[in-house]
Amino acid sequence: MMRQQAAGGFTIEVRNLQRKHKIDQGLIRDKSKAILALCGLKDVELSILIVNNQRIQDLNKTYRGIDKPTDVLSFPMMGTELNSVPASQPGKLSAQPLLLGDVVLSMEKIQSQAREQGHSVDCELMMLLTHGILHLIGYDHERSLQEERRMRKKEGLILAKI
């Protein structure tokens, strides 16, 4: 496990619970900081869990009712959408980091999807890390076509800069 308070007030915990694929926890932490900063966030806490297909399938079945592995799952803390802080209390969360939630990534899925798409594992990892973080702050491509376009546009902007 790697937990580190980073510049900008970010606390990012990276836990690797799979053994099949090597991961660079420092890279994941650094890119997470960049993604959060590009989303205009500071003083936030984020947990990233790296797992295998079986573990993510168990989570997917438990929380989404889908009994198959997926590439990324996001578990936001209640009230962490960007627009969820009441206007009458804008500074209320400034004393403590905002707990965004957890992003769970399957390295097995990342590896296989990278091969299928013809790009690097790091590229696939960054795409899914960005996707997962955007879900934590309220983006949801499953709500509507308009929201899907909004999320894809934001993903593209972030990926072009990290």
- Which residue segments constitute the domains of the chain, with CATH numbers given? 2-161 (3.40.390.30)
Q: Which position has the token pair 């500074």?
A: 91
Higher pLDDT, 127 or 7: 127
Of the listed ranges 37-41, 51-55, 67-71, 93-97, the least confidently predicted one is 93-97
pTM for the model: 0.84
How distant is the alpha carbon of residue 89 from its chain centre?
26
| 83, pLDDT greater than 70 | no
Instruction: Label residue 117 by pLDDT band (50, 70, 90).
Output: very high
Beta strands in the chain (DSSP E): 2-6, 10-16, 44-51, 72-76, 98-106
| 91, pLDDT greater than 90 | no
Neighbours of 152 (CB within 10 A): 14
| 96, pLDDT greater than 80 | no
